[in-house]
Amino acid sequence: MCKDMTPLELAIQFHGHICPGLLMGVRASQLAMQHLDLKRDQDEDVVAIVETDSCGVDALQAILGCTFGKGNLIFKDYGKAVYTVINRQDGRAVRIVQRRSASSGKTGQRYRELKGREDLNPAEKEEMEQVLQELFEQLMTCPYEELFDWQDVDVKLPPKASLYSTLTCSNCQEGVMETRAVETADGVLCIPCFDLQRR
């Protein structure tokens, strides 16, 4: 990724397209950076705990530099547009909650109606572009207070990413991280093979 890109450009490049969810992630990332006085992560100094696996998370990865590979993106499958961002340098953390009203207006509703259909005619495709442009302007320019609720929180810092040995599954012969391997009487198994064996 080009380091001279704006946060929005980084997010779009990473995600592949513009959508309201991505824009909300962009704004949440910007809010976290401003609130915690952060720069993009280089070495796990920024941690993001995300409670959804939706589009906004891609913005956090691109803008904040938090990724699964570095171990500083933690996913909790709660289905909530909530992001907790932590600055390891000073231990400060902010929990950002997307307001339900942020995209529930007429424009947001029309976007969801059109986006959910596969059979848009040319006029509806043009309308979709117009609606997306309106949402873009709305979401990227309105005050944070209209999009989110946020508060400082105390969070136990997760450990930095560790390196683990790779073992070979006795059944499928594929490599499996030692912390995810299951010791059995038949040898080491990966979780899928262990689950198959239990059936």
Q: Does residue 161 fall inside a structural domain?
A: no
Residues 141 and 56 in one domain: yes
Looking at residue 34, what is its pLDDT? 97
For residue range 29-49, list pLDDT tens digits in order: 999 999 999 999 888 899 999
Residues 183 and 128 in one domain: no
Per-residue pLDDT at 2 exceeds 60: no
Percent of the chain with pLDDT over 70: 97
Contact 63, 40 (CB under 8 A): yes
Q: Does residue 57 fall inside a structural domain?
A: yes
What's the CA gap between 110 and 173, in Å, rounded?
50
Q: Does residue 74 fall inside a structural domain?
A: yes
Contact 61, 14 (CB under 8 A): yes
For residue range 111-129, list pLDDT tens digits in order: 888 887 888 899 988 998 8
Domain count along the chain:
2
For residue range 49-72, list pLDDT tens digits in order: 999 999 999 999 999 999 998 999
Looking at residue 3, what is its pLDDT? 63
Per-residue pLDDT at 192 exceeds 90: yes
For residue range 69-107, list pLDDT tens digits in order: 899 999 999 999 999 999 999 999 999 999 987 666 788
Residues 103 and 44 in one domain: yes
Q: Which residue segment(s) compose the domain that 127 sits in?
A: 7-152
Q: Tell whether pTM > 0.95.
A: no
Task: Give mean pLDDT, residues 139-150.
Answer: 95
Torsion of Cα atoms, 130 then 134 then 135 then 139, to 10°: 150
Q: What is the CATH number of the domain that holds 13?
A: 3.30.1330.130
Residues 97 and 15 in one domain: yes
